[in-house]
Amino acid sequence: MADVPAVELTGIVKRFPGVVANRDVDLAVAPGTIHALVGENGAGKSTLMNILYGMQRPDGGEIRVDGEVVSFRNPTDAIRAGIGMVHQHFMLAANLTVAENVILGAEPSRWGRIDFGAARARIAELGRRYGLVVDPDALVEQLGVGERQRVEILKVLYRGARTLILDEPTAVLVPQEVEDLFRNLGELRAEGITILFISHKLDEVLSVADTITVIRAGTTVATVAPADVTAGQLAELMVGSELPTPETREPTVTDDVALALEGVTMCAPGGRPELDDITLSVRRGEIVGIAGVEGNGQAELIDAVMGLRPVDGGRISLGDEDATGWSTRRRREAGLGYVPEDRHRHGLLLDAPSGRTRCSATRPLLPTPRAPGSTGPAPAASAARWWRSSTCARPRSTWPPTPSRAATSRS
Ligand SMILES: Nc1ncnc2c1ncn2[C@@H]1O[C@H](COP(=O)(O)OP(=O)(O)OP(=O)(O)O)[C@@H](O)[C@H]1O
Ligand SMILES: [Mg+2]
């Protein structure tokens, strides 16, 4: 019965207030293949996968798994049917070990206690079988992004998934990690696992997928084989029209230097230089790209430019002024902005009302919450006073934050 799809979605409809996220979606995924789902931001890819994973109920349509009609009330039902999902944003507990994360909610027990020995053995066995190498005793907070992703995949396989949904798995990875992931996906496919892979990086999709389905404005518009399309044709299917050709306009670069680094050096606690004599300048109207393999100083360069860590040598100028000793607040007030790589960990205060994130990006920074046991004025109270005097939108229920809440959202 090789013709029966591992997963088949027919006529799926999902409405949210004011938005039809999915309409008449048809998708058939052959077993043991890598099937990519591509589409623009907001096209409805995640919604469709959330429906397949039982996180959202469709308003219409039918789901079949191995030919049988199913109706999932929640992810537990989906997992029972052999469907697992790795979300766009990882959902691991950073303060637990790899093994604890993998078994969380599905702990093997022996005489009423968690059988960590059995868990470790099974994780090692899955790791060997699918080439997903990761130390079961490592703390997740100490792992890099690629390793965290492997833990997420292991977690899903541990629960017996035969169909794996990966939502934008490469968005957070550097090229080397993308290669590792694709090798892992190849090994999973060789073992008969079916993979649904969401992406909008077309070259990646063309290199890794067996079949590609394009979603546009909530509906499936084409299903193609990678050999039959080019990246340009896929992009046109995604946007529904011919792509505009870039305009050649007058250059915007001026001679005014807006930001300059001269001989900037920053050392790790042991004295090892993390930034060694960095000199560069950015002129008004100019876009400067910084290329390099992760771990070679990019994060430290941001810390230095934003004043998140003091430099050990050199000079940073904003316009004509020497900003080397300035606080982050002063640099931001002088017009320097920063959009971080990881929005969830460094860009947003997820537990706070949206107004506070907006204000913290545009207004002077709030006092840092006091660590438990330390002395000094109560920061939450002064923060609340600042808030009352600010012109930003007033938050609702969760303000002022308790120190632990604020500390979590800054971590
Ligand atoms: N829980 C929700 N409530 C209301 N609207 C939603 C909800 N989830 C998604 N939407 C809307 O449904 C549409 C499809 O969103 P979805 O997240 O599925 O898109 P996507 O293709 O995954 O986009 P991206 O590439 O940005 O991840 C969007 O207009 C989005 O704003
Ligand atoms: Mg999405």
Give per-residue pLDDT as tens, 175-222: 888 998 999 999 999 999 999 999 888 999 999 999 999 999 999 999
- Report the DSSP pairing between strands 60-65 and 7-16: antiparallel
> How many domains, the chain?
3
Which of these three, 333, 358, 391, is where a domain ends? 333
With tokens 């207030």, the residue in question is 17
More confident site: 151 or 398: 151
pLDDT at position 391 over 60: no
Q: Is residue 246 assigned to a domain? A: no
* Position 355 in a domain: yes
pLDDT value, residue 357: 64
Q: Which residues surround ligand 2, an ion (CB under 5 A)?
A: 46
Indicate whether residue 41 lines ligand 1 (CB < 6 A). Answer: yes
Q: How far is the CA of 26 from the centre of ligand 1 (A)?
A: 18
Same domain, 221 and 362: no
- Average pLDDT over every residue of 62-91: 92
Radius of gyration of the chain (CA): 25
Contacts with 17 (C-beta within 8 Å, 6 or more apart), sequence order: none
Our mutation pick for probing the ligand 1 site, out of 12, 16, 201, counting the most ligand atoms within 8 A of Cβ, is 16
Q: Which ligand 1 atom sits nearest the alpha carbon of residue 48?
A: 18
* pLDDT of 247 over the 50 cut: yes
Q: Examine residue 249 and state whether it is found in any structural domain, yes or no.
A: no
> Ligand 1 in contact with 56 (CB < 6 A)?
no
Q: Is the pLDDT of residue 369 over 90?
A: no
pLDDT, position 390: 40
Domain with 130 in it? 7-239
d(CA 368, CA 102): 34
Mean pLDDT value across residues 78-88:
91
Residues 110 and 205 in one domain: yes
The pLDDT of residue 345 is 67
329 and 348 part of one domain:
no
Pairing of strands 19-29, 7-16: antiparallel
In a domain, 196, yes or no: yes
- The pLDDT of residue 256: 93
| CATH code: domain of residue 309 | 3.40.50.300
Question: In the prediction, which pLDDT does 364 show?
Answer: 44
Domain match, 322 and 348 both: no
Mean pLDDT across 3-26: 94
pTM reported for the whole predicted model: 0.69
Q: Return the higher-pLDDT residue of 410 and 37.
A: 37
Per-residue pLDDT band at 114 (split at 50, 70, 90): confident
Report yes or no on 251 lying in a domain.
no
Query: Which residue, judged by its Cα, is nearest atom 5 of ligand 1?
Result: 16
- Tell which one of 22, 25, 40, 45 to mutate to probe ligand 1, the residue whose CB is within 8 A of the most ligand atoms: 45
Place of tokens 């005793």: 137
Answer with the one of 303, 333, 363 that is the final residue of a domain. Answer: 333
Q: Which atom of ligand 1 is nearest to the CA of 215?
A: 21
What pLDDT is attached to residue 388? 43
Residue 12 Cβ inside 6 Å of ligand 1? The answer reads: no
pLDDT at 55: 94
Do 145 and 86 belong together in one domain?
yes
Q: Is residue 301, in this structure, part of any structural domain at all?
A: yes
Length of the chain: 411
**Do 386 and 314 lie in a common domain?**
no
How much is the pLDDT for 299? 87
Q: Which residue has the higher pLDDT, 361 or 227?
A: 227
**Ligand 1 neighbour 240 (Cβ under 6 A):** no
Identify whether residues 274 and 161 lie together within a single domain: no
Same domain, 264 and 222: no
Q: 132 and 64 in one domain?
A: yes
pLDDT at 360 over 80: no
Residue 118 and residue 92 share a domain: yes
CA of 88, closest atom in ligand 1: 27
Position 344 confidence tier, pLDDT thresholds 50, 70, 90 = low
- Which pLDDT value is given to residue 265? 96
Query: Is 250 within the bounds of a domain?
Result: no
Ligand nearest to the CA of 43: 1
Distance CA 158, CA 155 (A): 5
The verdict on residue 311 lying in a domain is: yes
**The pLDDT value given to residue 361:** 55
* Residues 274 and 131 reside in one and the same domain: no
Domain boundary among 333, 359, 381: 333
Say yes or no: 233 and 288 in one domain: no
Q: Which band of pLDDT confidence, cut at 50, 70 and 90, is reported for residue 245?
A: confident
- 44 close to ligand 1 (CB < 6 Angstrom): yes
Residue type, 27: L
Measured CA distances, 170 to 50, 123, 208, 338, 374 (Å): 18, 23, 12, 22, 42
**Mean of all residue pLDDT scores within the chain:** 83
> Residue type for 317, please?
S
Average pLDDT over residues 338-362: 70
